[in-house]
Structure formats: C-alpha cells, structure tokens
Amino acid sequence: MARILVVEDEPDIALGLEEDLKRQGYQVETVGDGESAVRRASRETWDLILLDVMLPRLDGFEVCRELRRARIKTPIILLTAKVQEAEKVMGLELGADDYVTKPFSPRELRARIQAVLRRFSGESLGLHRFGDVEVDFDRAEVRKKGLPVDLTALELRLLQTFIGRRGRVLTRAQLIDAAWDQGTHVSDRAVDTHVLNLRKKIETVPGQPQFIRGIRGIGYRFDA
Ligand code: CA
C-alpha cells in the first residue's frame, strides 16, 4: 500500500483529497504548510508527495527545491492553480515529476498518481512496444513493422528517456540532462533536431507525431 503525503493548506480540498485517496487504498497523511512538508518529507519515507503550489510560509516550488537539494527523491506531483507555461517549466526543472492543474477531476488525479507510482516502482525497461515499434533496450535494438531501424546512440538514449518517463512533459533541459553527456553544451534547437530525426524513424507519420508530441512552450511528451 503506497504512502502519500498531501500538502494542501485549504482544509476542504485537503479533506476531499485525503478521503478520495484513502478510498483507493492509499495511506494518506496531510500537512498544511511548506515547512511541515519539508520536515515530514525529510524524516519519513513516502511513495509520493502531492504538493500544492500556493502554500503559507514556503510555497510548493520552494518545498520542491529544498527536497531535491537534500537529495530526497520521492516523486512529487505539483497541484497548481497557475496555468502559465513558465510556472510549469519551473516546477519540472525544480524536480517535480508531474503537475496537475486545479481544478482537477479526481479521475485525472488518480491516473497521474498511478502513472507516477508505476514509473517509480523500479520496472525494468527491457522490451517495450508501442504502435508497430518494438524496442529492446537490453540489446539496443529497435524494429518497426519487424524491420530493424538504425538509431544513433543519442537517439536511443532520447527514446529511453521518453519511454522511461512516458506521459510526463519533459523540458528540453531535462532531455539534455538525461540523454547528453554531462557538461556538453546543447542548444534547444539541437534538441529539436534530434527529436525530429527520432520521429522520422519511429513515427508512422512523422509530420503528425502520435508518440513524441510537442508541448508548446514547454517541451515534449511521450504517449504510448
Ligand atoms: Ca493552497
């Protein structure tokens, strides 16, 4: 049974979340401000933190930054009332794993929670299939309609990053972090070029990608 820390200062929302999550079988604890969130998240083990952005004392972004700085890797889903793309990018770059925009439907939140928990449950990438593409990460082989596709090492790392974090919006900076060697200077345009090349190799219609989707102003998301 997964343990979830809910950080939310509005009592009604906090209570609603807690009841809904408990009904789904999660163990839930709630705190109402940023400082308590940092304290509890640092001292106890959690499977997931649902973190409201607008909080008294420390806001959600600051909580996120502090936890990641302290090398606490518990997955975090930000609950944000703000829809500005810059804020989403900031949350993701501070180390949040996903965000849900308020008001959210319980169903949407459930799906995001399940996706994040699955991602962190240590499943091995091994063999992965989407559409008519088959990726064997152990052998570093990709086939489309059964025929081998020649991916560069970088494209394979990009694809691995996408698949490993499927359903999650990734900024270009996060892709660079994950797929390029440390310390390499890479422009956003270079990222776009490599994503474009990867699409040409794996998408059915590269001009209308169904797997690697561009998220305007933010980055990319892999859906499969
Ligand atoms: Ca709030």
Domain ranges of the chain: 3-121, 127-222
What are the strands of the beta sheet with 133-136, ordered from one edge? 127-130, 133-136, 141-144, 147-149
- Kindly state the tokens that stand for 177: 């972090």
pLDDT band for position 177 (50/70/90)? Answer: confident
The CATH architecture that domain 3-121 belongs to is 3-Layer(aba) Sandwich (3.40)
Same fold, 3-121 and 127-222: no
Higher per-residue pLDDT: 84 or 110 = 110
Q: What is the pLDDT of residues 76-96, one digit of tens each?
A: 999 988 667 777 788 888 889
Distance 106 CA to ligand 1 centre (A): 17
- Kindly state the tokens that stand for 110: 């459930």
CA distance 67 to 41: 8
Between β-strands 3-7 and 76-80, what pairing exists: parallel, antiparallel or unpaired?
Answer: unpaired
* Class in CATH terms, 127-222: mainly alpha
Distance 60 CA to ligand 1 centre (A): 9
Q: What is the pLDDT of residues 34-58, one digit of tens each?
A: 999 999 999 998 999 999 999 998 9
Distance 176 CA to ligand 1 centre (A): 32
Q: What is the pTM of this model?
A: 0.60
CA distance 191 to 168: 17
Residues flanking ion ligand 1, Cβ below 5 Å:
9, 52, 54
The pLDDT assigned to 3 comes to 94
Closest CA relative to residue 102, chosen from 165, 141, 52: 52
Distance 217 CA to ligand 1 centre (A): 25
